[in-house]
Amino acid sequence: MDRIGGSLQAKLWPKDPGEREKALAEAEERCDKVVEAVRAYSERAEQLTREAFAAADISYELKPKDGTFYAPKIDIYIDDALGREWQMATIQIDLTMLPERFDLTYIDEDGKPQRPIAIHRAIYGSLERFIGILIEHFAGAFPLWLAPVQAVVIPIADRHIEAAGELAGVLRGRGLRVEVDGSSNRMQYKIRTAQEQKVPYMVVLGDREIEARTASPRTRSGEQQPAEDWEAFADRLAAESKARGVG
């Protein structure tokens, strides 16, 4: 008190007991009406959700009392590489909270206002957790379409760097993410580094490959694939990436 150079007073203004009881009764009545309305909407939303599952022929497990008070929710679970179950996406069918509280309407084909259904979606749940699960599931060896770097071109000597850049340009022209390792490290070290980084494809370029304009790709598992024309190789990788396989 002394610090602010003044005095403070607290005053309590009690409500008249009769008015207080009346206000409490009115609030309780309003709450009962809201609860009944929310319960009715929630039951309707649950029925619509069940019908949607049936129409889509999707099996599901019922978890009573796990939904929110105003709407049922759909939780999507994913099993990781270790067999652990993680909750990821959550979807809620909301007939009351947003539509009613914000008085949302739309005009139907007959020109009449209708109350919409709000769908709450959290597709990834926690994005950080989703990325962590994804990295752990693939142990860093992402499928081609998901890999940050899809291919590394490795020139054997400095004189091959220019051609390596040209091949990288062909691959990038197909929308692929490619790097050229033009460092002074030995070729085997470059290959091992790319493998440790889980890069799906490595292409070693020397005089013979540049003259024939062929690529002899090596996978991160160590498989040496047959030589093929640069354009054909780029088309193959682009098709593989577009297919988005996970095998």
Separation CA 245–CA 243 (nearest Å): 6
- Which residues constitute the domain of residue 197? 144-243
CATH of the domain at 71: 3.30.930.10
- 202 plus 134 within the same structural domain: no
Lowest-confidence region among 30-34, 104-108, 164-168, 220-224:
30-34
**What is the rounded distance in angstroms from the CA atom of residue 41 to the CA atom of residue 60?**
22
Residue 10 covered by a domain: no
Determine contact, residues 220/198, Cβ cutoff 8 Å: yes
Q: Is residue 6 part of a domain?
A: no
Q: Are residues 42 and 130 in the same domain?
A: yes
Domain count, the chain: 2
**Amino acid letter for position 100:** E
* Res. 207 pLDDT band, cuts 50 70 90: very high
| Percent of the chain clearing pLDDT 90 (strictly above) | 47
Q: Are residues 67 and 46 in the same domain?
A: yes
pLDDT of residue 118: 86
Per residue in 76-94, pLDDT (tens digit) is 888 887 888 888 888 888 8
14 is a domain residue: no
Please spell the DSSP secondary structure of the chain, one letter per residue: -GGGTS-------PPPHHHHHHHHHHHHHHHHHHHHHHHHHHHHHHHHHHHHHHHHT------TT-S-SS--EEEEEEE-TTS-EEEEEEEEEESSHHHHHTT--EE-TTS-EEPPPEEEEESSSSHHHHHHHHHHHHTT---GGG-SS-EEEEESSGGGHHHHHHHHHHHHTTT--EEE--SSS-HHHHHHHHHHTT-SEEEEE-HHHHHHTEE-EEETTSPBPPPEEHHHHHHHHHHHHHHT---
The Cα-based distances of 72 to 41, 46, 104, 126, 221 in angstroms read 10, 6, 20, 20, 46
Question: In sequence order, what are the residues at sequence separation of 6 or more whose Cβ sits closer than 8 angstroms to the Cβ of residue 107?
Answer: 113, 114
Say if residue 120 is in the same domain as residue 92: yes
Domain boundary among 97, 115, 138: 138
What's the pLDDT at 161?
95
pLDDT at 11: 47
Indicate the residue among 108, 138, 168 that finishes a domain.
138
Residue where one domain finishes, among candidates 88, 110, 138: 138
4 is a domain residue: no
Tell whether 204 and 179 lie within a shared domain: yes
Average pLDDT, the chain: 84
- Looking at residue 88, what is its pLDDT? 85
Question: What's the whole-number mean pLDDT along residues 20-44?
Answer: 64
- Indicate the pTM of the whole model: 0.68
Whether residue 107 is predicted with pLDDT greater than 90 in this model: the reply is yes
pLDDT of res. 213 = 95
Query: Residue 189 falls within a domain, yes or no?
Result: yes
Question: Is residue 179 in a domain?
Answer: yes
| Bridge partners of residue 224, in order along the sequence | 218
In the chain, pLDDT over 70 holds for what percent of residues? 81
User: What is the mean predicted confidence (pLDDT) over 33-54?
Assistant: 74
